[in-house]
Structures are given as C-alpha cells and as structure tokens.
Amino acid sequence: MIPKVFKEVIDLGDGREITLETGKLAKQAHGSVVVQSGKCMLLCTVVSNYEQKDLDFLPLTVDYREKFAASGRYPGGFFKREARPSDGEVLTMRLVDRVLRPLFPKDYHSETQVMIQLMSHDDDVMPDAMAGLAASAAIQLSDFPFECAISEARVGRVNGEFVINPSRAQLEESDIDMVIGASIDSVMMVEGEMKEISEEEMVEAIKFAHEHIKKQCEAQIRLAEAVGRKTVREYEPEREDEDLKKKVHDMAYDKVYAVAQSASAKHERTDAFSAIKEEIKATFSEEELEDFGDLISRYYYKAEKEAVRDLTLNEGLRLDGRKTDEIRPIWCEVDYLPSVHGSAIFTRGETQALATVTLGTSREANQIDMPSYEGEETFYLHYNFPPFSTGEARPIRGTSRREVGHGNLAQRALKGMIPADCPYTVRVVSEVLESNGSSSMATVCSGTMALMDAGVQLKKPVSGIAMGLISDAESGKYAVLSDILGDEDHLGDMDFKVTGTADGITACQMDIKVKGLSYEILVNALKQAADGRLHILDKLVETIAEPNSDVKPHAPKMVTVTIPNEYIGALIGPGGKVIQELQKATKTTIVINEDPVTEEGIVEILGTNQEGIDAVLARIDSLTFKPEVGNSYKVKVIKMLDFGAVVEYLDAPGNENLLHVSELAWERTENVTDVVNMGDVFEVKFLGFDPRTKKEKVSRKALLDKPEGYKERAPRDNNRSGNRDNRGRDNRNRDNRDRDRKRD
C-alpha cells in the first residue's frame, strides 16, 4: 500500500508550478522530499549522525548528482556508470553549501550529508535552480538544529522583464543569469553573470528573486507542519566558560589592537598574533592547558576578531594600514612567457596570478556532457591554486571544488567579452602564485591582459575586485572594505566579488553573513566596488591598452571558410586521404564541421605558417572552382589527345577541361600539335555546357580574331530523317547500297 503523501504547491505566477512532496520515497533518511516542476524531479535526502565529531567545524557534505537515466541517456565513456561529478554538478553543490552551512549552530559538529539527485529531466526546466529549495525542504522535515527555511532561485531578464527560474532557451535571450539564496528575512548568497548591467539593476533583480523565495520558504514551513514538525534533536554543545572568556579577552584585546594598528605585512602580522596567543597560553599551567586549551584558542580568536573589526569601525583603518576604500599597489606585465600564445602577470599587494592563453580549433572545445545539458564551450578558463601560494605544504589531490568555483566565476566574468566571430577555441589558465586577498579577481585581471596579448579581440577589458563589509547592528556603524585581505575575508559580515567593464557588471559572487542587510547598504557597497574596479581597470589599460592586432608569430593563425556541402567529401577524400596528405604537406590542422542549419561545410584552417594556410585555401578554391559563362581563364596544357588537349585552370589546379580540336583555332586544324603543345599556357573562354555532350566547353579560338575572309562552315544537319549525309544504321537508303555494290 502506498503510504500517505504530503504535498505543497508553489505558484510561480506564470502558469508554472513547483511541487514539494514527501512520504513516499527514502523514508529511512532523516528527511526526504521530491521537488517537481514540469517533468523535472529532484530527490533530496538528508542524514546527520547523532554523535558529535571531535572537530572545530561542521563536517557537512552537499552532493548533487544528475542521473543519465533521468534524460533517457547512457553515460559516456567506456564504463557505463556515473563516476566523479562534473564541473556543473560541483558548481551546484557549492551554491547549496554556501547557503546551508552558516545556518547550522557553530557548535554542531555531527557528520551531515545532503544528497540531491536529478531523477527526471525536463528540457524546459533547469534543475540546479531548485537544488537549494530541495535541500532546505528536506532539512525542515528532519530534526536537525537548523536556523530557518531557505531557498534558491534563478532570475533572468528577457526584453526588460524579470523571469523567475527561466528555461535555458530564455537564458540565451537574457542579459542576467543570477542565482540568489535567501531566507524569508535575509538575502544570503548571490552568484551570476550579466551583460554589463548597473548596480541598481542588479539590486532590483535580487529583490525580484527574494519575493519568490519568500513564497518557497513559506511552502516548506506549511509542508513540515502538515507532516508534523519533529522535535529538534539535542546534542552536546561546546563547552563555555564566561570567566575564562573574559580573562583571555582582557589579555588579548589591547595587544591585538596594537598589532592591527601597526600596518604590518601578512607574515609579520601572523607571527605577531601567534606570539600574543602563545604569551597568553604561557600564563596557564599545563593542567589548565590540557583541560581548557581548545577554549583558550577559541576565545583568543574571538578577541582578535573583535579588535580588528573595532579598529576598522572606530578609526577607518585596516590590518595593512589602508583606508577602507584604498586599493593595494598594482603592477602588471604582458608577454612574459615567450612560447605561449598569450601571457600576463597581475600582482595586487600580496596576491599574484599568471595567466596563459592557448588558441585552437573547434576540435579543442570543452565538451559538456550532462543529463541536463549537452554542448560545448569554445571559451573556457581553468584556475589552479597550489599550496605554495600561501606559504604552505599540503597534499595535492586533484582539482578542488574551490578551484572549480573560482575558475567558473572568472570564466563568466570574461566570456561575454569574447567576440561572437572569434574563430578560435580559447583556453585561459590561471596559476595563482601568491594569495592574500582575492585570487579569482586577480585571475580576471590577468586573464583580460593575457587575452589581449594573445590577439583575441576582446570587446572591452574586464577587471574585478573583492569587497568586504564590517557592520555593528547596535551602533548602526558599517564600513565597506575595498580589495580585502585574506584575514578580512574571515572576519567580515559580507564578502563579495564584482567584475565588469567600464560600462557595467559582468559577474558577481556574494556571501552575506549578517541578517537583514539593507538594500541601501548593498547599493553603497556595489558603488564603492565600481570605483575600485575602475581604478584597477585603469592599471590594466596602462599595461596593454587594446588587443594586439594579430596573434604572435609562433601562435597559430586561424582562417575559416565555408564550402558547399557537396564538396566536403572531395576535401576529405577516401578514408581521409586527401585531408591528411594536405595537412602533412602544409603543416596545418584542418577541421571540417557541418552547419546544422545550412548544411554547408565550415572549414577551419590552423597553422603558424601563412604559406601553408594559403596552400590549403588554394586547394579549397580549386575544389570548389566554378567557371562562369563568358569569362576568360588562363589554362595550361597537361595532356595531348588526337581530338584535342586537356587543359588545367591555373587558378584552380586539379580542375581540368577538354579543349576540343575544333575550338583551337578558326582555321581547320589537322593536328593538335600544330596549334598547342604540352605545357603551353594561354587563355580560353568558358562557353558553358555543351548541349549534346552535357560537358563543360571551353574555346581558345573564341578569344582570337577571325581571319579576314573567313567563312563559317555550314552547320551539321543533325536531322536523322534519311539524307545522304546521315549514315546511321537506321537510315541506310538505296543510294548507300548502290555505292557499296560498286566498291565490290
């Protein structure tokens, strides 16, 4: 018997609905829900162990997977089974994790797992927009200690109108693609890309999404109440000792404040803070340290955070001595690496990124094969964050989720500035060499310069900046920090990254840690970010003002030509013989694609030697050469016959025609060699197709003057009714028979 099912419906306001359902699937999980929109169905399950881990953080795992069966497909590759998550799945995991994690109690350390699976796909529904809703709804049905219901929604803008959770087709026409995470009261997370919109437009999009998110949160609460809310589980909280807390605070605060006020460098400051901590710990006995060592460390960090925040709010100063809106010194360099197609170094304070650009054909496009989306990227960016960049030694175990996320943000910042007619597949790789601040924004800046150095004709240069916010709800004071340090990232109430051109925002990423942040403060923060972003942009333009007019001499040149569909086979040749020999002879790479609309052949020719590219173009011209009636062409005799000469068009080698003996000259020609010989070059006129032979006909005599007194020969009578000149088998009359008898 099917168990009782509970449902809640969310009206999106345009005829679409999202349904929340529980009670049927995965009942042993601590919470489970099916979220459905159209034919798209997500199953989310949540489980949290009852034992507390001996850790100082929440061991939360958010896992999002798309099952290929959901779209009636098989996994690609040799093993027909889903394996490691794709970049797209990792990005969705990060979107959900960033909203959920801050809502668990800080002293809750039980291993917690959120698993979201795409079970059924709908081409008109993007499932990642509902992943946050599914996760929160499942948690609301559990007994987890969790602050409040949240949800996430995607917002687009098509023809000036905001659209909630747009389809992929709508997104292609949209100038905004943002995912917003929020509770009923507060916006908590924003990430997306835009087509050079203003700060005010961005805030309006956030407001629009937040109104829809409120309805989604209310639906979760109704569902949980209908099922019957579970009592929140009890767990062993962290130890607290108010007397010890005050003691550590009193010993640490003034000393930390003094170090923070001294405007020191990162490592010097870190050493000074560590010395203060060790000095405080030295005042305790070994027994006290054994019993309260973890509390002493925790209370010290709280005192350190409070002192640094107070310095900024009270004096407008920061750890490195800058004012709140001041940008660290910047230096840049392009063309640093001699062998790559484009390179640039961007250094801002103690953050440094080296970007490289590689140019290729469509064969190098990044193939995306997900159940919810199949396609390819002809522009993509990879971000690497090695441990030495922060002065650490740690194991490297593949590409981290953080690296995927930061690379995606930089890619979204830049991709809108790649011109639509760029013939190359473009790969940017950012190597972070130093990090104390936003390395993803350094990647945007170095990537911009490297692209221009490579000769990619960017529409406009793009810069990026990381911002922070420190606020005090009681006093109403707040400070927006431009170009934040790594330490400021951790102690602030909001950190956000904004990228854009001189004309508007192209991408953003925000994590808002304070409740009820006003939209007024958000707009002010974005305005300050714009000032900083433009300052950085000026530094980039000073280094390289515009894209190089051409690619580097050692970089491949790309030429794209279109040929009629019927010539594709001739260019490839049997078993690829023609194209392989042509690539080998010209030292080029040739890629042929078929236009899905016109079915024409799109030929990409990539090579470092212009002569080789020209040779390929000449061969293509030769293959597709079509002479026009009435035009003259130079030809060369390549073969002699009794009844004419075979000639080859000089402008289209390989294209041959028979020049009949009757078209050599006006005078009667007994022998072809009386007029032309092997290797002779001359002009002929193209007469079109011979109606009798249906073959192309060319003439040499048509370009010569008629001799004086020349008389046209009477045209041959092709009427086969039976006169003496018609000697077909069916026209043998008596006169013919008489002549035959006389010969006997």
- Write out the binding residues for Mg(2+): 489, 495
Q: Are the C-beta atoms of residues 517 and 478 closer than 8 Å to each other?
A: no
CB 655 within 8 A of CB 684: no
Closest alpha carbon to 19 in 155, 122, 104, 158: 122
Q: Is 743 exposed, middle or buried (0-12, 13-18, 19+ CB in 10 A)?
A: exposed
Burial class (CB in 10 A: 0-12, 13-18, 19+), 647: buried
How many CA within 13 A on the CB side of residue 604? Answer: 21
Find out whether 569 and 579 touch, Cβ atoms under 8 Å: no
What tokens appear for 670 in the block?
Answer: 């007994």
**Burial environment of residue 396 by CB neighbours within 10 A (0 to 12, 13 to 18, 19 or more):** exposed
- Residues flagged as binding site: 489, 495
Distance in angstroms (rounded) separating the CA atoms of residues 245 and 253: 12
CA 642 to chain CA mean position, Å: 64
Distance from the Cα of residue 297 to its chain's centroid: 42
Farthest CA pair distance, the chain? 144
Nearest to 671 by CA among 658, 679, 661, 680: 661
Calpha distance 640→511 (Å, rounded): 81
How many residues can be counted in the chain?
744
Beta pairing, strands 373-377 & 6-11: unpaired
Q: What does each C-alpha distance from 119 to 40, 41, 622 come to in angstroms?
A: 8, 6, 53
Backbone angles phi, psi at 619, to 5 degrees: -65, -40
Q: Which of 680, 682, 640 is nearest to 658 (CA)?
A: 640
Tokens 């040749």 sit at which residue? Answer: 573
186 dihedral zone (left: phi>0; alpha: psi -120 to 50; beta): beta
Q: Which of 116, 91, 92 is nearest to 403 (CA)?
A: 91
Asked whether 151 and 220 are in contact (CB, 8 A), the reply is: yes
How many Cβ atoms sit within 10 Å of the Cβ of residue 464?
30
* Strand segments (E) across 665-713: 681-689, 696-699
Residues 75, 76, 79: CA angle, nearest 5 degrees: 80
For 329, other C-beta atoms within 10 Å of its C-beta total: 8
φ, ψ dihedrals at 159, nearest 5° = 55, 40
Q: What is the distance between the alpha carbons of residues 295 and 247, in angstroms, rounded to a whole number?
A: 12
Q: How far apart are CA 608 and CA 606, in angstroms?
A: 7
| Token pair listed for 584 | 């080998």
The CA-based angle 458-461-466, given to 5 degrees, is 135
With CA atoms as reference, report the closest residue to 384 among 403, 398, 366. Answer: 403
